[in-house]
Amino acid sequence: MYYMLAITFSLVTLDGMGNNPKKDTDSNAKVAVLKQKSMIKLIYLNEPQSKVKISILDENGHKLTMKGTKLTTRVVRNIDAFIQPYNFSGLEDGKYIFEIVDDQGTIIQEVDYKRMIPQKAAILTSVYEIGESERFKLSVTSENDRPINVEILNRFNRLIYEDNISMTNSFGRVYNLSKAFHGPFTLRVSNGETTKHFPLK
């Protein structure tokens, strides 16, 4: 099975790494992989300088291809060190293998890739009655800056009041239900991603 891999071929020279770095006897010390969401960055120390061939394979050892072209194969020549970013956003979750071939031999670096699942923005709320006045204090803090929608429903689940607050960081409101009918009531608070319900007695 073949996958599409979008790659940005921009090589960044690491100036501080090119000043005669110490040779490490472990070839894998020449390679590091950084994962930032769907972006995978391959960091390579090319000492001594040589031609470097980089390929990416799936867990079955097949090079990733598209329309017969091996997009993931890259040859780098005579650079002390570089960072090569790869965009994995078009790939399925799973294990992928960087195969780096230089004059010293072949280095294998495995990567476990998992797509980022967007998390719903949290909404922190507290509701309490002020004394026994049937006046309720609502305090809200949200992780996003979307407007907050506040609804009050009666015991028949019918909307009796609605409030929309332009959100910056946090706010507090007092709702007076002393003259409302058909209780008990339910307070519903939503930031567009997360909704919370609070019974008001």
Residue of higher predicted confidence among 114 and 116: 114
Q: What is the pLDDT of residues 137-191, one digit of tens each?
A: 999 887 667 888 999 999 999 999 999 988 666 788 999 998 888 889 999 999 8
Residue of higher predicted confidence among 10 and 117: 117
Q: What is the pLDDT of residues 29-82, one digit of tens each?
A: 577 787 777 788 888 776 667 788 888 888 888 887 644 434 456 666 656 667
CA distance 5 to 93: 13
* Structural domains of the chain ordered from first start: 6-113 (2.60.40.3080), 123-200 (2.60.40.3080)
Query: In this predicted structure, what is the pLDDT of residue 187?
Result: 95
193: left (phi over 0), alpha (psi -120 to 50) or beta: alpha
Residue of higher predicted confidence among 131 and 21: 131
Q: What does each C-alpha distance from 58 to 36, 63, 106, 157, 195 come to in angstroms?
A: 19, 6, 17, 53, 40
Average pLDDT, integer, range 187-199: 89
Name the residue among 108, 115, 128 with its Cα closest to residue 55: 108
Query: In this predicted structure, what is the pLDDT of residue 70?
Result: 44
CA distance 59 to 43: 21
